[in-house]
Each structure stands twice: as structure tokens, then as C-alpha cells.
Structure 1
Amino acid sequence: MVERISSGAVWEDRVGYRRAVKDGPHIWVSGTVAVGEDGQPFAPGDMEAQTRRCLAIIEAALAKLGAKMSDVRRTRVFVTDMSPEAQAAFGRAHSAVFGEFPPASALYGVSALAAPEFIVEVEADAYLGGEG
């Protein structure tokens, strides 16, 4: 049975997607930007804070589907700033969460995200089939 969960973001219904979808042991979490509890961009211009916020939103979505961050097997990260400082800031936030169970990952430099205040977007794929 396929489960779809929403984070309540207005974009989900407007665009026709869900924050995360679970099918069997697989979970796919949609591209996640740093939105605050108020629905506004979180920490504009702060790569580390935005990355931490993206990962917190992803963690909440996974929890709704019975998963945790250690179940994440891959992340895809899109950033609008590929400077060494920005990459280091992203890396600190990503490794703080995944340091003990690093997933496969890719970092892509892009020209823009959904709004100019967003400088990072993270996707995650999780697997609930055990530790292998």
C-alpha cells in the first residue's frame, strides 16, 4: 500500500505532490527548502541554518512514515552558492545529521530555487529494509 504524507505546505496542493511517499520499504522525500513554522523562508542567506532546517523537515516527514534519519540511503542537494564557504557550511549541517550513517549524496549548483531567499534544497530517499 502506498502512503503519502503532507507537510501542509501550500505548494503541495497547488503543484500536485506530497512531502513524502512510502511504497513498501522505500520512502522518497520531495525536494525540501527551509520554510519556517510561519510558512516564510527560514534564515535567508544562511546556508548552514537553511540546511539544518531542511533536514529537520525531512526528519519530521520520515517520522510520520515510521522511519528515521539513519534509514536515509541517499540525499540530493541543490544549492545556489557553490563557494567553498557555502559548501563548508552545508557540509557541517549535513555531517552533523549523517556523520554516523552517511548516505550516498550529490551536491548540485543551480541558478535558482523556488524563491530567492532559498539557497539550498534537499531530497532524501530512505529504505526500511534493515541495516544489511
Structure 2
Amino acid sequence: MQRTAVNPWDWSLKFGYNQAEVIEGARRHLICAGQTAVDGDGAPQHPGDMRAQIDLALDNLEAVLTKADMDLGNVTRLGVYATDVDEALKNFDLLGQRFGPHQSAPPMTLLGVTRLAIPGLMFEIEATAMA
């Protein structure tokens, strides 16, 4: 699979994402449901702690990718939902720490929402991946 970044402007790069990517040669396509800060039984974790919730949601996303024989380098699109956008953005360095080693900056949308499906959750991330 070959990825070519498309960035008519470079402002999004400082936020860790490309405006678009051209994907060529992919054979497998994975669509992940939103991953949140829940344990293996689906119980919410880290109430009131956005940073810890983002970290666990990323752990859970990586677990799904691993089960599909992929990793964060295969992610081609992210959808992010946060109950407090400003607080989420303060902690987006966590995304850089995870995606950076893969030299990946997938196109992303961040949306502020009033709540997520399970009360107490503050952050949700969904992904599309290709291999």
C-alpha cells in the first residue's frame, strides 16, 4: 500500500493530520467502530480524566487493529468525538506519540458532542484502516 499526502495548505500538519491521502495498492479495508475508555467488559474507566480516556481509547483502537493484523500505520481516516473539544486538543500530543512512530498523519475530523453513548465517557475515536 502506498500513501501520498495531499495538503494544499500546511496548517493541519501542526495538528497531526493531512488534509487528504491518496491510497494505492490496498487489498484489505477495515472499518472500526468508535473506541472509548472502557475495559474488557465495556465498563467506563477514568471518569473526568480526558487524558487517561484518550490514552485508553487509543489502546483499545490498537487492540482492534492488532486483531486484524494491522497497526496505527494502516489507519487512513479518523473520526474523533469529544465532550470537551478544548480539553481534547490539550491532550492531542497522545495521538502524535502513537501515530508519529508510524510516520502516519491520517486525515481526521474532530467533533464536539454533548455526550457519548455511555455516560461518563468524554472521548471516542473511530478509524478506517487499509493494508
- Structure 1: state its 5+ residue gaps: 1-23
What SS is found at the alignment partner of 2:85?
Answer: coil
TM-score (norm 1): 0.72
> Cα distance, 1:98 vs. partner?
1.2
Number of aligned residues: 103
Q: Which residue of 1 aligns with 2:99?
A: 98
Further displaced range: 29-38 or 104-113: 29-38
Letter in 2 for 1:115: I
Matches within 5 A, 1:20-99: 24-83=27-86, 85-89=87-91, 91-99=92-100
Q: Please give the alpha-carbon distance, in whole angstroms, between the structure 1 residues aligned to 2:63 and 2:112.
A: 26
Q: Which residue of 2 aligns with 1:122?
A: 125
TM-score (norm 2): 0.72
Instruction: Please identify runs of 4+ aligned residues in structure 1 that moved more than 4 A.
Output: none
> Cα distance, 1:65 vs. partner?
1.1
Q: Please give the alpha-carbon distance, in whole angstroms, between the structure 1 residues aligned to 2:66 and 2:40.
A: 17
- Relative CO higher for 1 or 2, CA cutoff 8 Å, sep ≥ 6? 2
- Structure 2: state its 5+ residue gaps: 1-26
Query: Given that residues 48 and 92 in structure 1 are in contact (C-alpha distance below 8 angstroms), is that contact kept between their aligned partners in structure 2?
Result: no
What SS is found at the alignment partner of 1:45?
Answer: coil
Q: Please give the alpha-carbon distance, in whole angstroms, between the structure 1 residues aligned to 2:118 and 2:70.
A: 29
